[in-house]
Structure 1
Amino acid sequence: MRQKLARVIGGVAMVALVAGGTACSSGDDAAGGGGDACGSKIAFFGALTGSSAALGINENNGVKLAVDKYNKENADCKVELASLDSQGSPDQAPGLAQKAIDDTKILGVVGPAYSGESEAAGPLFSEAGLVTITPSATRPSLADQKWKTFFRAVGNDFSQGPAAGNYMKNVMKADKVYVIDDQSAYGAGLADEVKKLLGSAVVGSDKVQGEGKQTEFSGVVTKVKAANVKAIFYGGYYQEAGLIRKQLTAAGVTAPLVAGDGVNDGAYITSAGQAAAEGTILTCPCQPAAEARGTFVQEFKALNGTDPGTYSDTAYDAANILLAGIKAGKTTREGLLEFVKGYSGEGVAASYKFTENGELDPAQVKVWAFKVTGGKVVPDQEIPKS
């Protein structure tokens, strides 16, 4: 279980980093020449409508809480939140990125939320010097593009994929596994990592279409049933995962489904139906949001009227890193980028320090398995990354 830490203001220990900073500083900005923080913006970039919206709403609500708390503490010099709805589509991402870039008041971005849209938007953000901290995009290759503005607040699929494989091998004792993915940057990458770890235990694999493009999966269901497997792994997002699980169950396939963080949301249960979803294992390179440090859970629910979901806490932490930089007087894009590069501090979900290519320090990465039990996604256990 999570180590209990002393409660700190705002749930984030960043006193040393912001000491001497003021909310309306127009003083020295070491990298960017300084400016006025009042009226500055941070943006959230992710799906708020469409088939992939559940995860984006979780995250946007976390960012909203961070901004709300900041503005209460700095009532004379507030920061605005710009929520940019990508619908989770890589096709829409470049235009939306340009919209953020063109708004000169936006100093930093929480997101993009998904790997595909990150691949599409990343080059534009890098060229513009607009810092981004994704709370959930886990495709490993995102950190290999030499984007100077890319940072990731969670572990990547090099940690999550092997952990999912280890869970199937060591906890489920599954010696026959069928692997399916949605051909997305995220889903295919995660499935590849699982295949590498399980090796000959993978007796079959197949690909489907994501982004709501496919709703009927009888072909893959027939193959899975014929393979008589002990577990099924799905790399992709919750909408298709739920439909696949529903159709597998209807065909009499009882082998449990295992999937990554793109499925780790209550919307999966809605898609599959409670009875079919029961027993599903969902991994995440994150700890349970309900166990976030300090008063995060209570404050999140008070503001948003719902409990935090997957990545609500990491999005909150990512926003607070950007806000700490603004508080410290980093009121240009260049200045805030340099601040994030050198950041080291505690959040409600994890400790944060970034490597040269923007990855979260591997020592801080934890991977958890969650289980659908009684119609809810509940924590199961922390699992080894390798």
Structure 2
Amino acid sequence: MAISLGLAACGGGSGGGKGGEGATELTIGVMGDLTGPDRALVIPPANGAELAVEEYNKKNPKVKVKLKRYDTQGKAEQAVNQVNQAIKKDKIAALIGPAFSSESRAVNPILQTNKIPSVTPSATATDLGKSGWKYWHRVVANDDAQGPQLAEFVLRTAQPKKAFMLSDQGEYGVGLAKSVGDTMKAKGVQIAEDKVDAQASDVSSTVAKIKSFQPDFIFAGGYYSFTGKMLKQIRDAGITALYASGDGSVDPALVDAAGKEQADNVVLSCACKIPFKSTATELKTFADAYKAKWNTDPLIYGTEGYDAANAILKAIEAGATTSEQINEKLKATDFAGVSKQIKFQENGEIATSLIYVYKVTKGEISLLGEADKAALQ
């Protein structure tokens, strides 16, 4: 699935790359973990972006676009190496990504210095929008929206008295767990917490802490490779509390990691809209086109990758042939995307803060609805 396009970008002028006045071809990049442990979160948006580029080029536009993939394996230091290659060698005009918050934190100062616009389909850390970057955008709501909305959903539907906040030691997982925990604590819920090395093979001490605390709700912050492993060991220990996680876990790989029975009734939240067997016209059209190209259904962030790419492509279609011109067009972006209305605030944040909740039932993930309206069925 992680197919490298191997498209060599030419230099400036009419040959492509970063472009310029009169350019007839531009290269844009898509960056994230394409072969590492959490690749299932990144391959769908990369594929969605490629689908958008393919559809754009079929319209025979004045400026054609090439897409080049950059594999970070989820490592910030590798993301830095990749972005330097993208800028210096491939002369990208814009970037879709990076996919993860830690990568974004490392890469975006470089993009800012080189005045290369980016649109991330999936990095949700709140502080990214407070960095003052003028060339950064995202098409998902941040963790300040996701954490409280998930917490409010659980409070409304499950009414927990004691909640355990579990997280890996990464910035994404820790931040999201804190956001959920702070919201619940403010509503009188008793909170306990622990942070676990995501690579640790023995997590028995944390499982023992959870069992001793006897929570009726557990939130796990991190990516599916971690949250699925923890879920399996928690369930194997006989702990039956409602278990929830965030967008980094909304993938069938969570069920694979935990086991079908252990994952049953798990609740997941995401600022993403995944077309699980959707009948909505715009989602079905996208899902059918995606499956026709990739021979698989679109999963997490597939729609966001498609929308992020289209934000850049619409800027190019409107006459932008340089990175700075694309960035200026992005400021005025306002179109109905597949995932949501794509419109950016002045700081690059998406204008909407919509959060969706999902549930695992008999190994299948299904959409419950918007967090403020959905019921825990």
Amino acid at match of 1:328: A
Distance 1:68 1:275 in 2: 40
Is 2:331 the counterpart of 1:345? Answer: no
What secondary structure does 2:206 align onto? helix
Paired residues, number: 351
Q: 2:161 aligns with which of 175, 183, 195?
A: 175
Q: 1:203 aligns with which of 178, 191, 216?
A: 191
| Matched-pair identity in % | 38
Distance 1:153 1:76 in 2: 26
Task: Provide structure 2 residue ranges, at least 5 long, that are not aligned to the other structure.
Answer: 1-12
Distance 2:63 2:160 in 1: 56
1:301-380 correspondence to structure 2 within 5 Å: 301-361=291-351, 364-380=352-368
CA RMSD of aligned residues (A): 1.8
Q: Deviations over 1:154-213 (max 9, x none)?
A: 100111000111122111111111001112121111111111110142431000123xx2
Amino acid at match of 2:364: K
Distance 1:103 1:54 in 2: 28
Question: Does the 8 Å CA contact 2:63/2:316 hold for their aligned counterparts?
Answer: no
Question: Does the 8 Å CA contact 2:71/2:79 hold for their aligned counterparts?
Answer: no
Cα distance, 1:271 vs structure 2: 0.7
What secondary structure does 1:43 align onto? strand
Matched residue, 2:6: none
Question: Does the 8 Å CA contact 2:181/2:191 hold for their aligned counterparts?
Answer: no
Q: Deviations over 1:320-378 (max 9, x none)?
A: 111111122211111111111121111111111111111011xx231111001121111
Where relative contact order (Cα < 8 A, 6+ residues apart) is larger, the structure is: 1
Amino acid at match of 2:291: K
Amino acid at match of 2:189: A
**TM-score by structure 1 length?**
0.87
Is 2:102 the counterpart of 1:112? Answer: no
Amino acid at match of 1:35: G
For structure 1, which segment, 100-109 or 248-257, has the greater mean C-alpha deviation from structure 2 after superposition? 100-109
Task: Provide structure 1 residue ranges, at least 5 long, that are not aligned to the other structure.
Answer: 1-24, 27-31
Matched residue, 1:18: none
Is 2:56 the counterpart of 1:70? Answer: yes
Cα distance, 1:77 vs structure 2: 5.3
Question: Does the 8 Å CA contact 1:289/1:312 hold for their aligned counterparts?
Answer: no
Cα distance, 1:293 vs structure 2: 4.9
Is 2:111 the counterpart of 1:129? Answer: no
Question: Does the 8 Å CA contact 1:214/1:240 hold for their aligned counterparts?
Answer: no
Question: Does the 8 Å CA contact 2:122/2:140 hold for their aligned counterparts?
Answer: yes
Matched residue, 2:151: 165
Matched residue, 1:191: 177
Q: Deviations over 1:23-67 (max 9, x none)?
A: xx98xxxxx9623132x1111111101111001111111011101
Is 2:39 the counterpart of 1:53? Answer: yes
Distance 1:35 1:130 in 2: 19
Amino acid at match of 2:55: K
Q: Deviations over 1:110-145 (max 9, x none)?
A: 111111111111111111111110111110100111
Question: Does the 8 Å CA contact 2:160/2:217 hold for their aligned counterparts?
Answer: yes
Matched residue, 2:246: 260
What secondary structure does 2:300 align onto? coil
For structure 1, which segment, 233-242 or 105-114, has the greater mean C-alpha deviation from structure 2 after superposition? 105-114
Amino acid at match of 1:37: T
Question: Does the 8 Å CA contact 1:293/1:349 hold for their aligned counterparts?
Answer: no
Matched residue, 2:262: 276
Matched residue, 1:14: none
What secondary structure does 1:371 align onto? strand
Is 2:96 the counterpart of 1:101? Answer: no
CA 1:76–1:343: 2 relative to 1, 3 Å:
closer
What secondary structure does 2:42 align onto? helix
**TM-score by structure 2 length?**
0.89
Cα distance, 1:75 vs structure 2: 7.4
Matched residue, 2:8: none
